[in-house]
Amino acid sequence: MAFDFDTVPDRRGTSSMKWDKDGGRDVIPLWVADMDFPGPAAVDRALRARIDRGVLGYTMPPVSLVAAVRDYLAGHFGWEIDPAWIVWLPGLVTGLNVACRAVGVPGDDVITATPVYPPFLTAPSHSGRRLVRVPMVADRDRWQWDFDRLEAAAGPRTRLLMLCSPHNPVGRVFSRGELEELVDWSVRHDVIICSDEIHCDLVLDPDRRHIPTATLGPAARDRTITLMAPSKTFNLPGLGCAFAVIAPPELRRRFRHAMAGIVPAVNLLGFAAAEAAYRHGWDWHAALLDVLRGNRDRVQSAVDAMPGLTTWPVEATYLAWIDARAAGIEDPAVVFEEGGVGLSNGTEFGLPGFVRLNFGCAPALLEKALGRMSTALGKRSGAPTA
């Protein structure tokens, strides 16, 4: 079946966070992590069918959706779960914040590796926990955990490790060895792992495979809160449907307790879309990955040709992490925005001088944006544009 990933949909005037933030200015928005593609047709049909039934009352998680999630986890990752392990959530950011509240007490330490998706940096303080940052290290090929610094960062009050896997923004798919080292560390220091795996279905590198942290053996299973959603996979983030998988009963009880009376239920359209996507969205998803691979390669070659910019191979996600510190500009996000391209500012991820580029869009729009970036850099340096 043919899918259309070339049309640029008109998202302005839809209260789109990505497209309507700039109030109609001519800025191509390549920032917040949603894609400019309609999701699978099966999702559209399921949403219409649900509306046609009328009466939009309170809703329970459909038994058939729970079965779809179990089949998905078993089929894609060889992960057999008990339905009781699933905790439905209106979003993963909610899950990150609930995890901080559910583990330990105020004053305890939460460790994360930086740079990282901004809510990892803010969630600990929302519940009176102390954020401890362990900077990742980069060579020409990839970003990695600094296990010596991680070891040194563990203290008597360390209770939680917030792991982003695959990693936003550095695009890594962590290997079994890397994940096992994190699990060994967490066992040694008796730390719970909150593993945000929202990007797990967006592995672009054919040589890599996503491994859910909790599947690494009984020790991992018994100390991991896994957060997942169909929202990045099928581009449904506006529908607010996500879930945690938590095997240990006591940890799950604490997680549910931290949610009680505060976290709303998932809405019925979110459930309907999730089930249709997990059951019928995979042809669309395979075509999506091909488009994203092409866009990733184009970003890599275009950025390589821009003086002063460095980027890394994106193993997963539709996000490129770009180092602009050698470009001789003070705030690259501002310079590119003035040049007509809206990128995420690295400062929000814990690393000033960097920007994050979302290439989940039609190739022609991406090309236009890359051209504008090159021109913006050229104007600043006075050099000819690449």
Ligand X SMILES: Cc1ncc(COP(=O)(O)O)c(C=O)c1O
Provide the binding-site residues for ligand X, judged by CB under 6 A. 33, 91-93, 117, 164, 168, 196, 198, 229, 231, 237, 242
Of residues 164 and 369, the one with the C-beta less far from ligand X:
164
CB of 115 to ligand X, least distance (A): 12
CB of 119 to ligand X, least distance (A): 7
Of residues 288 and 335, the one with the C-beta less far from ligand X:
288
- Single out the residue of 231, 278, 265, 289 nearest to residue 34, CA to CA: 231
CB of 342 to ligand X, least distance (A): 15
Of residues 164 and 327, the one with the C-beta less far from ligand X:
164
Residues ≥6 apart with Cβ < 8 Å to 142: 170, 172, 312, 313, 315
CB of 201 to ligand X, least distance (A): 13
Phi and psi at residue 15, to the nearest 5° = 60, 35
Token representation of residue 299: 């970003």
Residues ≥6 apart with Cβ < 8 Å to 250: none
139 burial type by CB count under 10 A (0-12 exposed, 13-18 middle, 19+ buried): exposed
* Three-class SS of 40-74: CHHHHHHHHHHHHCCCCCCCCCCHHHHHHHHHHHH
Of residues 112 and 374, the one with the C-beta less far from ligand X:
112
Closest-CB residue for ligand X? Answer: 91
CB of 379 to ligand X, least distance (A): 31
Of residues 236 and 369, the one with the C-beta less far from ligand X:
236
Of residues 33 and 193, the one with the C-beta less far from ligand X:
33
CB of 170 to ligand X, least distance (A): 11
CB 166 within 8 A of CB 316: yes
CB 357 within 8 A of CB 320: yes
CB of 41 to ligand X, least distance (A): 23
Q: Name the β-bridge partners of 325.
A: none
Of residues 98 and 309, the one with the C-beta less far from ligand X:
98
Calpha distance 22→332 (Å, rounded): 17
Of residues 92 and 377, the one with the C-beta less far from ligand X:
92
Token representation of residue 303: 């950025």
Q: What 3-state class would DSSP assign to 95?
A: helix
CB of 74 to ligand X, least distance (A): 23
CB 359 within 8 A of CB 366: yes
Token representation of residue 57: 């009352």
Q: What 3-state class would DSSP assign to 324?
A: coil
